[in-house]
Amino acid sequence: MKIFIDSADIDEVQQVRSYGILDGVTTNPSLIKKAVEKHKIQDMEAYVEKLLRIANGLPVSLEITATDHEGMVKQAERLFDSFNSIANNVVIKIPINPSTESKACYDGLKAIKELTEIGVPVNCTLIFTPEQALLAAKAGAKYVSPFAGRVDDYIRSKLGMSFEKHDYFPQHGMEKDGTLIDDNGIVSGIDLVAKCVKVLQNYGFETEVIAASMRNARQAREAALVGAHIATLPLSVIREMLIHHKTAEGMKKFLDDAPEEYERLMS
Ligand code: E4P
């Protein structure tokens, strides 16, 4: 499974890149807002250029904000034309369905098709059903991003549970009064990811599934087990993937036991 970092923070991108595990970067307007606040960004153009250079050829998803077909294509072209020449790594994030107004319902698909035809790679975002993923893939999306964590949040709210954002939610769902709680047949975020992977595999699409909105290490493990091509992870989840109390305990024992004569061989 490829690992993308879900962050617009250049320090975090640089850090994870230096570990040799990074395959790409995803941003969204909320993550850009966080970076603006942290880095007190005045010159957004220079910041985005730096982000793309640091990613150094790895794909970086930049999301548009328009909510109609023409506006989305125009913004996507503007971003792609302005920034892709820097490191040849811009991917445009297009929502599957940009507006609750029924007439705009098809605009995401129209934008994906048009951008794909002119060679702009698209990451289709805000995917909450396997059928949305299927339609995005048919329209030509290079990536589809099912939002696993937000599905879990939604199902937990239906269960009446209180929870922290990083809490684990079981892949096979949870019952209330003997009934498995679902969202139109989807019982967890990982269930959504698994079903997106299966649907695209059934028909041989090249579109890659990015497990997005990831909350914890166990969810990242499950995304890998169900065959997600990519997981896009916040830095906190990447860190959590490294930690185990028995690793720490084992390390302490080895350090306590190591004889001086042996230490001298390495000094
Ligand atoms: C990435 O593509 C998504 O925008 C991101 O993972 C959403 O994560 P969140 O649900 O934690 O905001």
What are the pLDDT digits (tens) for 123-171? 999 999 999 999 999 999 999 999 999 999 999 999 999 999 999 999 9
Output the CA 241–ligand 1 centroid distance in Å.
18
Residue 223 and residue 190 in contact, taking contact as beta carbons nearer than 8 Å = yes
**Sorting pLDDT into bands at 50, 70 and 90, what band is 219?**
very high
**What's the pLDDT at 101?**
78
Where does ligand 1 bind, in terms of residues with CB under 6 Å? 6, 26, 28, 125, 145, 147, 149-150, 212-213, 232
**What's the pLDDT at 104?**
81
pLDDT per residue over 34-79, tens digit each? 999 999 999 999 999 999 999 999 999 999 999 999 999 999 999 9
Residue 61 Cα: closest atom of ligand 1: 2
Distance CA 146, CA 154 (A): 14
Residue 222 and residue 190 in contact, taking contact as beta carbons nearer than 8 Å = yes
**What's the pLDDT at 137?**
98
DSSP letter at 45 equals H
Residue 4 and residue 60 in contact, taking contact as beta carbons nearer than 8 Å = no
Neighbour count for residue 64 (Cβ, 10 Å): 23
Distance of CA 124 to the CA centre of its chain: 11
Query: Which residues does 212 contact at the CB level (< 8 Å), separation at least 6?
Result: 6, 26, 125, 145, 146, 147, 148, 232
Residue 150 Cα: closest atom of ligand 1: 10
- The H or E element spanning position 125 is strand 122-127
**What's the pLDDT at 141?**
98
Assess whether pLDDT exceeds 90 at residue 99. Answer: no
Residue 105 and residue 97 in contact, taking contact as beta carbons nearer than 8 Å = yes
Three-class SS state of 3: strand
Domains of the chain: 2-265 (3.20.20.70)
DSSP string, 108-124: HHHHHHHHHHTT--EEE
Paired tokens of 230? 């990519």
Assess whether pLDDT exceeds 80 at residue 102. Answer: no
Distance CA 149, CA 153 (A): 6
Output the CA 265–ligand 1 centroid distance in Å.
48
